Structure 1
Amino acid sequence: MTEFFLHLATATALGAVILSSGANAEPESTATFDWFEYRGEDRIFEQPIAKDEYRNPILAGYYPDPSIVQVGGDYYLVNSSFAHFPGIPVFHSRDLVSWTQLGHVIDRPGQLDFSDLGISRGIFAPAISHHNGTFYLVTTCVDCGGNFVVTAKNPTGPWSDPVWLPEVGGIDPSLFFDDDGKAYIINNDAPIGEPLYDGHRAIWVQEFDAEKLKTTGPRKLAVNGGVNLAAKPVWIEGPHLFRKDGQLYLIAAEGGTSVNHSQVVFKGESPFGPFTPWDNNPILTQRHLDPARPAPVTSVGHADFVQDAKNNWWAVFLGTRPYEGDFYNTGRETFLMPMTWESGWPVITRGEQRIPFAAKRPALPVQPAAAIATSGNFTLRDEFDSPQLPMHWLQLRNPSPQPWYSLEHTPGSLRLTATATALGDTGNPAFVARRQQHLHAVATTRMHYYPQRENDRAGMAVFQNSGHFYFFGITGNGEGGSDLIVSRRDGGHSPQGETIARSALATDAGQPADIQLRIRARGPEYDFHYSLDDGKHWQPLLLAADGRVVSTRSAGGFVGAVIGLHAFRGME
């Protein structure tokens, strides 16, 4: 991934020379950002924890569908990334609590094509495994190829180009290497014949040749519908097979990814079944708890299990932290809980048990805190003083052939060259962002920018998807000057959104403004402030903007909000 970003940054500088050459070339519209600071302020994380405890979620913000594998004393975890690029973040830990990102599986534009995809399409539910010195990852590229497998000798990468699995339909494949050396691929797909009801799905199994990277033999139906077909269970998905003491288990999510989400378990006689569900399913859910409870964790499910070096079992799974009702902007996050065994069956939660924000750490040597925190309240300031962006930054869909950002043009800053692709388009706008990881957070940057045209704009954005975002920054006013605006898109027609706040910006004619922009998230609201004196005094442009616009509940899909930097070139 480092090589990719270095190449992209260098190409950006070269591209800028090409763009500016020629007597008839239009003047560039560029914005320079000196730094970007993100600070989390969630009250739940202000509560102290003991030295032998850890905080949930272990990966805060939009890190859904976790899959985990143990290799010796090391643990590796991956998450869904949909149509964001780079795709499929890879994390490493030695204590299951402190996680460091190693890179991405999809870090080269040629691996997959996310062009024109909705943000919640693309990569669904990657599953990582390890066998005989090789890491395997299987996943689905929804609307961009189907199911595929990639491999690597080192989880840091490079990962191979996709090997497509056309015989495997549906979504959410995972690999299982059995004790006899045989491998199987298990996944969600349509049932035999016509579905009996909306959400009727099935789990299928097929043998897999791990050397030739292809399926072999017939596909067989493993589970039809879910735990109890007569009860019309919906959206059985995210399956994993594993053994304990010789007994084969199948786990899967059931109930859909919203508030009715759960995890269920079956015992099997062979990888092809038959599979018998536990009478006391589900083994993980929060759907029956009082929705008015304080600081709820909801929508839990899509779990994966790991046995640590002390032979204790743990589950990683997704959950959400709403600020009210089913509204949350942070997306689906990764949580960790111990797993116990009850009469030969795995259990994560029982009865009225709530997902804890603090719990006892695994009995493993404590790993030093990661350089970039993934949980709790923290402040992270990106100074843009490296030749590539840090790994927690992302963009929308595949990078444009004409690079638009540079970390080398003005060392110690990020330079965006505006493009004609708006945030509301389905291309690759000049937009880099990081996840919003807290319900209450503050993001601040310092920008130098002068709009060349009336509709040019540059600044910050809070982005859910192409139809739901806020933009906060400077635009041309058509009279040779600049205005400060907040625009919002809430499913409207304009790809730039509707301007909902505007103020004239007094700057010297033709000179870039030196301005600091600050966006504060306060649960269901966002505040937009600016400073013209290097942060000494802050002025509000818009307060208490409706944050539910960029919630998953309002915007739909499966991702969380990201906050970042954007530049757009208007047309004459």
Structure 2
Amino acid sequence: MTKYLQIFKQTLLALLVGFCASFFSMPVMAQEKQTFQNPIFPGFYPDPSILRVGEDYYMIHSTFAYFPGVPIFHSKDLVNWKQIGNILDRPEQLNLDGHNVSEGIFAPTISYKDGIFYMVTTLIKNGGNFVVTASNPAGPWSNPHWLPNVNGIDPSLFHDEDGKSYIIYNADAPNNKPEYDGHRTLRMFEFDLRNFKTVGPQHLLVNGGVDFSKKPVWIEGPHIYKVNGFYYLMAAEGGTSVHHSEVILRSKNVAGPYEPYEKNPILTQRHLPNSRPNPVSGHRAR
């Protein structure tokens, strides 16, 4: 477990790019004798999901109740980005009737397998979770394939080396009976990419968080990666305010059991004093 941070250096770099884009302005070394300025994306670009395909990087963001939905950007270096389209750019793809500005599209994620790009996300009021596909990331993207068995938010696709794919997501507490406010779970189905359907039983990966005795809240935003024979499950924990964090667990089996890293969280600012200069603040307590 001591090699977690090294193994996830590239993944955390992607997360930090998005995190810094919202909050910081500071010079960072990109290459020898070169610098770049954060934020690389000033303004409204929440929940970044970054994908690498060959030498190309693609990044998408939440858009909540705004249309068109889910902008997609392209980069060769993670620093300089150009918008190449919107994934949800037609009314039949995105029904936002009745949504408040903080509802709509939550936490989209982008993945790639065998020449096809996949974007999976949650439409909060009008349909739930769905997946769209494209052979060209600039579009056009398909109409939604709805996922009625995936009940929750923050879905993510993982494509394993053996050809199988899985969908991981935030869901209700066991038996829909939370033991405290913010008690959630992470769950997973095998996923049939051809027919856009879940396969077999649902797997409970994490109940509550990395340490249930501490009543962890809002385990969400899950992603699975496979490195050197281990499956690494990374997720957010602690809500969207000042206690927000990233945690990581691993297993030899994609369905678990997952063992938490003993030095979790791997990314947070909640231990820093409130009196520090330029603190990062949160907008709500969840």
Sort the TM-score into its range (normalised by shorter chain).
Answer: 0.7 to 0.9
| Aligned 8 A contact 1:266 1:277 in 2 | yes
SS of the equivalent of 1:151 reads: strand
For residues 184 and 152 of structure 1, what CA distance do their matches in structure 2 show?
19
2:196 aligns with one of 184, 201, 213 = 213
| Aligned 8 A contact 2:209 2:237 in 1 | yes
* 1:135-158 residue CA offsets vs partner (Å, 9 max, x unmatched): 001100001110000000011111
Structure 2 unaligned runs (5+)?
Answer: 1-23
Letter paired with 2:157: L
Question: What value does the CA root-mean-square deviation take over the aligned residues?
Answer: 1.7
Is 1:282 matched with 2:265? yes
Q: When the two structures are superposed, what TM-score results if normalisation uses the length of structure 1?
A: 0.44
Tell me the equivalent position of 1:76: 58
Tell me the equivalent position of 2:221: 238
* 1:539-560 residue CA offsets vs partner (Å, 9 max, x unmatched): xxxxxxxxxxxxx45xx99xxx
Is 1:176 matched with 2:161? no
Judged with a 3 Å threshold, the aligned counterparts in structure 2 of structure 1 residues 49 and 255 are, in CA distance, closer, same or farther, namely: closer
2:123 aligns with one of 141, 153, 161 = 141
Following superposition, the deviation at residue 49 of structure 1 comes to 6.8
For residues 168 and 133 of structure 2, what CA distance do their matches in structure 1 show?
18
1:57 aligns with one of 39, 42, 55 = 39
* 1:342-372 residue CA offsets vs partner (Å, 9 max, x unmatched): xxxxxxxxxxxxxxxxxxxxxxxxxxxxxxx
For residues 250 and 49 of structure 1, what CA distance do their matches in structure 2 show?
28
Following superposition, the deviation at residue 244 of structure 1 comes to 1.2
For residues 174 and 156 of structure 1, what CA distance do their matches in structure 2 show?
20
For residues 235 and 41 of structure 2, what CA distance do their matches in structure 1 show?
21
| Aligned 8 A contact 2:65 2:101 in 1 | yes
Following superposition, the deviation at residue 111 of structure 1 comes to 1.0
Q: When the two structures are superposed, what TM-score results if normalisation uses the length of structure 2?
A: 0.87
Is 1:165 matched with 2:147? yes
For residues 123 and 108 of structure 1, what CA distance do their matches in structure 2 show?
14
Is 1:92 matched with 2:74? yes
Tell me the equivalent position of 1:377: none
Structure 1 unaligned runs (5+)?
Answer: 1-43, 299-321, 327-551, 558-572
Tell me the equivalent position of 1:200: 183
Following superposition, the deviation at residue 67 of structure 1 comes to 0.9
The within-5 A match list for 1:463-482 is none
Letter paired with 1:138: V
Structure with the bigger RCO (C-alpha within 8 Å, sep 6+) is 1
The within-5 A match list for 1:333-482 is none
* 1:68-126 residue CA offsets vs partner (Å, 9 max, x unmatched): 11100000011110000111010111001111111111100111210121011110000
SS of the equivalent of 2:213 reads: helix
* Residues matched between the structures, number: 259
For residues 275 and 93 of structure 2, what CA distance do their matches in structure 1 show?
45
Tell me the equivalent position of 2:10: none
Q: Whose helix fraction is larger, Structure 1's or Structure 2's?
A: 2
| Aligned 8 A contact 2:224 2:232 in 1 | yes
* 1:474-527 residue CA offsets vs partner (Å, 9 max, x unmatched): xxxxxxxxxxxxxxxxxxxxxxxxxxxxxxxxxxxxxxxxxxxxxxxxxxxxxx
| Aligned 8 A contact 1:205 1:271 in 2 | no
| Aligned 8 A contact 1:206 1:216 in 2 | yes
For residues 193 and 56 of structure 2, what CA distance do their matches in structure 1 show?
22
Tell me the equivalent position of 1:103: 85
Is 1:264 matched with 2:237? no
For residues 168 and 140 of structure 1, what CA distance do their matches in structure 2 show?
10
| Aligned 8 A contact 2:27 2:35 in 1 | no
For residues 110 and 70 of structure 1, what CA distance do their matches in structure 2 show?
29
List 4+ stretches of structure 1 deviating above 4 A: 47-51
Following superposition, the deviation at residue 48 of structure 1 comes to 6.7
For residues 222 and 108 of structure 1, what CA distance do their matches in structure 2 show?
35
Larger Rg: 1
Following superposition, the deviation at residue 54 of structure 1 comes to 2.4
